[in-house]
Structure 1
Amino acid sequence: MEKLNEEAIRNKLIENQNWKLTDGKWIERKYRFQDYLNGIEFVQSVAQLSEQKNHHPFISIDYKLITIKITSWRAKGLTELDFELAQKYDELYLQIKK
């Protein structure tokens, strides 16, 4: 996949308002859960989707707070796939959070 330019990244961040740009090459979001096991269920769902797409984020588990960071190593920055997965992670969050 091709690396997105700064303008494209800004536009994608407008569409994905819960995500923020970090270090110029990552997007990151924190997800809060009511209990620990819901967070773990979310992480398992993210892992399965990421494995299917062969595109794996960094995941941090801090009790009921899950942080996801994603970038495209081969492109040396952010790509369409990063933002596509960000949207899918958000959808998984809404399904599990309820």
Structure 2
Amino acid sequence: MTQQQLTGWRVVRGRLETAIKAPSFTEAVAFVQRVAEIAEEQNHHPDVDLRYNRVRVRVFSHDVGALTARDTRFAAAVDAVVEEAGLIRELERIGGTVITIDAVEISAVKPFWKAITGYRETQDDYLDDPSGILPSLWFQPSVERREQRSTTHVDVYVAHDQAEARVQAALDAGGRLVTDAYAPGFWVLADAEGNEACVCTTDLPEAPVGDFLLR
């Protein structure tokens, strides 16, 4: 095991991710082209999302189901392009959303959601959008059916150093804290009518600038 530090990247849901802002659409496209060239040179291909002048890049070693030195090597090469082009990091945009469904019998519930969404099974108790754009579904084991409380909530994943600000913003917007007993792993909050959501961090919330262990 080795350790690598990449200050412009964060680990969210087991994937290494960064987000940048370019001065224009054309320059964002040029950045994506350079990322593509790096991917071809290293034979290691990321997920890239381009929205006008903003780009998000995620990388993960699918063949071993973990982050590896290939991912950090790729990220370091992308960092060099970011620095050379003078692009702006937007770490607050790193993350994603998971819709969580509590179920006593996951095997009886998951096929319905797989059929109705057209999602695919990617890991235990998860269904993911094949395009990688829409929120994932996660089926959380429950010991009993709840009649008076919704069994569905939203998990919002953010970078570890953005979590407390996101929690505070939700509280300032009229939400309430249900529990912070599991922080900094996750905070449970609710809106004014009791609908719940969790703000979740990376797997290593204690890392100050994005340290993580690699296989």
**In which range does the TM-score fall when normalised by the shorter chain?**
0.7 to 0.9
Instruction: Give ranges in structure 1 of 5+ residues lacking alignment.
Output: none
State the partner residue of 1:53: 42
More helix, by proportion: 1
Q: Is the CA contact (8 Å cut-off) linking 1:46 and 1:89 kept in structure 2?
A: yes
TM-score normalised according to structure 1 size: 0.81
State the partner residue of 1:90: 79
Runs of 4+ more than 3 Å apart:
none
State the partner residue of 1:22: 12
State the partner residue of 2:59: 70
Q: Is the CA contact (8 Å cut-off) linking 1:32 and 1:65 kept in structure 2?
A: yes
Instruction: Give ranges in structure 2 of 5+ residues lacking alignment.
Output: 88-215
Q: Work out the percentage of aligned pairs sharing the same amino acid.
A: 22
SS of residue in 2 equivalent to 1:84: helix
Q: How many residues align?
A: 87
In the TM superposition, residue 96 of structure 1 has moved relative to its aligned partner by 2.5
Q: Is the CA contact (8 Å cut-off) linking 1:38 and 1:97 kept in structure 2?
A: no
In the TM superposition, residue 58 of structure 1 has moved relative to its aligned partner by 0.1
TM-score normalised according to structure 2 size: 0.39
SS of residue in 1 equivalent to 2:17: strand
Q: Which has the larger radius of gyration?
A: 2
More strand, by proportion: 2
